[in-house]
Amino acid sequence: MLRRGERDEGFTILELMLSICILGVLMAAFVGLMFATMTANKQTKSRLDGTRAEQISSVYFGRDIQAAQGAGGIVTGVAARCGAGSVVLEVRGVSYDAVSLASKVTVVSYVFSTTTVNGVTTGVLKRRSCEAAVSPAPSYPLTPANTRTVARGLVTTAPTVACNPAPCGGTTTSVNLTLSRSGADVAFTLVGARRTT
C-alpha cells in the first residue's frame, strides 16, 4: 500500500513538458489540416466562379436564338432596340400573350460593357429583354422588362459573333458567341441554332 505522500505528489516537470510537446504537435497538425481545407475550398470556389458565366449564359442563349424570326431576326453591332447602348447581338421576334393570344414584339439585346472593381477593369455581358404591342408600331428603344448579367469577369474587348451563313440576318441558321474570361487563356463559345420549322 502506498503512503499518503506518494499518492498526492501530482505531475513532474518532465511529464508536463512532454504533455505540452504532444499538445503542440497535435495543434500544429490541426492547424495544418484547417489551412489545407480552407485552400481547397478557395480553389473549388474559384473553379465554380470560373464556369458560372458559361452556365448562366448558356441557359438563355440557345432559347433566344431559337426564337429569332424574320429577315431582321438576328442582328449585330447596331443601336439597341431594348435599352440603350450598342449591342453585341440582338434577337428580334414575335411572341404571344398567354391569356389574350395577342401578338407582341419581342427584343432580346446582349450588351457588352466594362466595369472597374478594386482597380481591376473587366468586361460584363448583360441580357436585356423587352416586349411591346405590335399595334400600334412600337417606338424604339423599348424599356427593358428584365436585365440579367449573364457573364462577368470577361476581357475588356467585346465578344465575337459568328453567324452561319454570314452575315447575320434572315438566312442565319446558327450563331456562335465567343467570350473570353479575364486572366484565363481559354475562351468559351455559346452556340445557338435557329428554329427552322
The predicted model gives 40-54 an average pLDDT of 75
pLDDT at 3: 56
Lowest model confidence (mean pLDDT) among 62-76, 81-95, 171-185: 62-76
Backbone angles phi, psi at 113, to 5 degrees: -145, 170
- Cell numbers at 36, concatenated: 489545407
d(CA 181, CA 55): 13
Give the other-Cβ count within 10 Å of 182's Cβ.
Answer: 13
Residue 173 has pLDDT above 70, yes or no: yes
Question: pLDDT tens digits, residue range 122-155?
Answer: 889 999 999 888 888 888 899 999 999 888 888 8
Q: If you count them, how many residues does the chain have?
A: 197
Report the share of the chain in percent with pLDDT over 70. 90
pLDDT at 56: 74
d(CA 72, CA 170): 6
Angle at alpha carbon of residue 189, lines to 152 and 153, rounded to 5°: 15
d(CA 184, CA 88): 21
39, 89, 147 from 126: Cα distances, Å: 32, 11, 7
Pairing of strands 187-193, 120-133: unpaired
pLDDT at 67: 78
Mean pLDDT of the chain: 84
8, 90, 145 from 152: Cα distances, Å: 70, 19, 21
Give the domain ranges of the chain. Answer: 46-193
Could you say which DSSP state residue 186 is in? -
Residue 186 has pLDDT above 70, yes or no: yes
pLDDT at 181: 83
Q: Is 61 helix (H, G, I), strand (E, B) or coil?
A: helix
pLDDT band at 161 (very low <50, low <70, confident <90, very high): very high
Q: Are the beta carbons of 170 and 71 closer than 8 angstroms?
A: yes
Burial of 177 from C-beta contacts in 10 A (0-12 / 13-18 / 19+): buried
0.85 surpassed by pTM: no
pLDDT at 2: 54
pLDDT at 126: 92
Q: Report the first-to-last Cα separation within the chain, whole angstroms.
A: 100
Q: Is 131 helix (H, G, I), strand (E, B) or coil?
A: strand
